[in-house]
Structures are given as C-alpha cells and as structure tokens.
Structure 1
Amino acid sequence: MSMPKYERVASAIRDQIQSGELRPGDQLPTTQGLIDYYGVSYGSVRTALLILKAEGLIEGRQGEGVFVREQSDR
C-alpha cells in the first residue's frame, strides 16, 4: 500500500528540513510551485502544509508565504 500523496509531500519537506537542506527562515516554494514539483493536487499540498505546521516545522506569514520555523529545542 502506498503512502497518501499529502504524506509523501509532508515527508519530503520534513526530510529537507531535518537534513538542513531547508534551514530556519528559508521560504518554501509557493503552493503552485509545490503542486508542480510534486505533481499533486492543491488539496494534497494544503494538507501536507497543515501537517508540518501542526508539527511546528513551518509557519505561514500573511502576505509573505510559508517559512521554516526557528527550532527552539536545538
């Protein structure tokens, strides 16, 4: 059984954050950019971002975009 698309996207972004490829303060691509890159629907990207936000890995800034959060436990 394959992983749901939203979980695949969330996992890929999570891995980039944990590996240091995406660092605190880095901006994630736009929603459309993520849709194009991962080949998934708007709903899959939104769900993936909501998961990462709930995990405290990213934050949305009104009118600016989505950014990797500073990790307070390091």
Structure 2
Amino acid sequence: MSEAAYLQVARDIRDQISSGRLKPGDKLPSFSALCAHYDVSNTVIRAAMLLLKAEKLIDGRQGKGVYVVDRSSD
C-alpha cells in the first residue's frame, strides 16, 4: 500500500526545509501552484499544510501566504 498523497507532499516540503532549499521566512507557493506541481487536489495540499503547521515548520498568515518558520530561536 502506498503512502497517502498528503504525506508525500508534506515529506517533500519537509525535506526542502531540512536541506535548506526552503529557508526560514521563505514563502511557499500558492495552494493552486502546489496543486499543479504535485498534481493533487486542494484537499491534499490543505492536509499537508496542516501537518507541517502542527510540526511548527510552517505558519500561515491570513491574506499573506504560508511561510517557513524560523526555528533558530527555539
């Protein structure tokens, strides 16, 4: 059985953060751009974002977008 799509998306974004390709303060692409990139539905992207937010890797700002969290002050 293959891994759920939202887990694959979350893992890929998590890997980009840990590798430094996405840095603290970087803005993630829009939901529609992520849907197109990963060829998944908005529901899958939303689930991945909720997971990454729960892990405190990203934070959404109303009307501004979703950003990588700066964890250096933790």
TM-score of the two chains, using structure 2 as the length reference: 0.96
The amino acid across from 1:70 in the alignment is: D
- CA distance in structure 1 between the partners assigned to 2:57 and 2:50 by the alignment: 10
Q: Aligned pair 1:8/2:24, yes or no? A: no
Shift of 1:31: 0.2
Gapped runs of 5+ residues in structure 2?
Answer: none
Shift of 1:43: 0.5
Gapped runs of 5+ residues in structure 1?
Answer: none
Deviation above 4 Å: which 4+ runs of structure 1? none
Shift of 1:53: 0.1
Shift of 1:3: 0.6
- CA distance in structure 2 between the partners assigned to 1:46 and 1:63 by the alignment: 16
- Which residue pairs with 2:22 in the alignment? 22
- CA distance in structure 2 between the partners assigned to 1:15 and 1:67 by the alignment: 15
- CA distance in structure 1 between the partners assigned to 2:53 and 2:34 by the alignment: 16
Shift of 1:30: 0.1
Shift of 1:70: 0.5
Q: Aligned pair 1:39/2:5, yes or no? A: no
- Secondary structure in 1 matching 2:21: coil
Superposition CA RMSD, Å: 0.6
Shift of 1:60: 0.3
